[in-house]
Structure formats: structure tokens, C-alpha cells
């Protein structure tokens, strides 16, 4: 069988502007912040 990897880009609100495009972070669904943003950055993925 063929293996297919799928990804999805989310527009997430980063209040302090602490992360850059491409950083891996944990996000949480929230109320709509703008037309496209419905996610909030919770923490960084630095494990």
C-alpha cells in the first residue's frame, strides 16, 4: 500500500508574537478572533 502523509496549516493567534512561521507549537481551539483565526497558541513544542 502507498503511504500518504497529510498536513494542514492553521492560522493561530500568538499574543506576544513569540513564535515564527514554521515553529511547532501546541494550539487550542477558541472563539473566532478574526475571519480565519479560530486557534490560540498554548505552548511551544520544546521537549
- pLDDT tens sequence across 2-45: 999 998 889 999 989 999 888 889 999 999 999 999 999 998 87
Using a CB cutoff of 8 Å and minimum separation of 24, what contacts does 12-18 make? 12/37, 12/39, 12/40, 12/41, 13/37, 13/39, 13/40, 13/41, 14/41, 15/40, 15/41
Q: What is the pLDDT of residue 39?
A: 96
Q: What is the pLDDT of residue 46?
A: 65
Q: What is the pLDDT of residue 28?
A: 94
DSSP state of 34: S
Q: How far is CA 3 from CA 6, 8, 9, in A?
A: 10, 17, 20
pTM comes to 0.69
Q: What is the pLDDT of residue 21?
A: 86
Q: What is the pLDDT of residue 29?
A: 96
Amino acid at each position: 500500500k502507498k503511504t500518504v502523509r497529510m498536513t494542514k496549516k492553521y492560522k493561530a493567534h500568538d499574543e506576544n508574537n513569540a513564535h515564527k512561521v514554521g515553529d511547532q507549537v501546541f494550539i487550542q481551539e477558541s472563539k473566532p478572533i478574526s475571519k480565519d483565526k479560530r486557534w490560540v497558541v498554548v505552548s511551544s513544542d520544546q521537549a
